[in-house]
Amino acid sequence: MPRSKRARLVPLTKTTKRATREHKSEFVQEVRNAVDNHEQLYLFSYENMRSSKFKDIRMHFRSKEGDDGMDMPSKIMLGKNKLLQISLGRTPEDEYADNLRHVAKEITESVGVLFTSRPRSEVEEYFANFVEPDFARAGFVSPRDVFITNEMLFNHPVSMVEQQFRKQGLPVKIDNGKIVLLDGLTQYRLCKEGETLSPDKCKALTHFGIKLSEFKVKLVCRWSGGEFEKLD
């Protein structure tokens, strides 16, 4: 096991403004307990975060049994990047265990930490295969052309012509009680490959159930027994 540095005092004055000193101290201790109680930790990054999508990951690692049937609960911590850095330590002098400072250095933007004792191969295979289709958000760059057809419009109530579709720029009308494209069109290109999507176009894509985005989690680095390893 790596040399423990738990006896060191940790300054908490440069962390989040709203948290009380007691809450900060509890968080630091929680992180350090997780280091002590698990064989390894992974730092991961994510894009297009959706709480409903991430719930699947939490549930997977909340279960106590690994592939080999052994009891090995894991812990995931998100947010509070500054406190995570302080908990792990940012210098050789204040790091909680050897080489955790290298993990702290990688904690920026949208990241989280997984503390686990599951086999390395199981953890890394799970994240390598974890991809969930998702609806695009404003600012997302479309990976392909998307076309809307009359058949796709037929399934929507005529009230959506004024309430939604025309506001979103779709050239539509009501014909014999159905929504159809104007000027005899059979299809309309809603967005093209490489286009940065506006909020209205994202709403339209959602109406038609078209998912252009993907929710992924990427492993950034791994720490175990005092050894640090970059993974990306």
Whole-model pTM: value is 0.73
Residues 41, 157: Cα–Cα separation, whole Å: 51
Euclidean distance between the first and final Cα of the chain, in Å?
25
Measured distance CA(200)–CA(136) in Å, rounded: 11
In degrees rounded to 5, what are phi and psi of residue 16? -55, 140
Burial (CB < 10 A; 0-12, 13-18, 19+), residue 8, is exposed
Nearest C-alpha neighbor of 217 from the set 57, 52, 55, 40: 57
pLDDT per residue of the chain (232 residues) written in tens, 0 to 9:
555 565 565 565 555 455 578 888 899 999 999 999 999 999 999 876 766 778 888 888 886 654 555 556 899 998 889 999 999 999 999 999 999 999 999 999 889 999 999 999 999 999 999 988 889 999 999 999 999 999 999 888 888 886 788 888 889 999 888 899 998 899 999 999 999 999 999 999 998 999 998 888 999 999 999 999 999 7
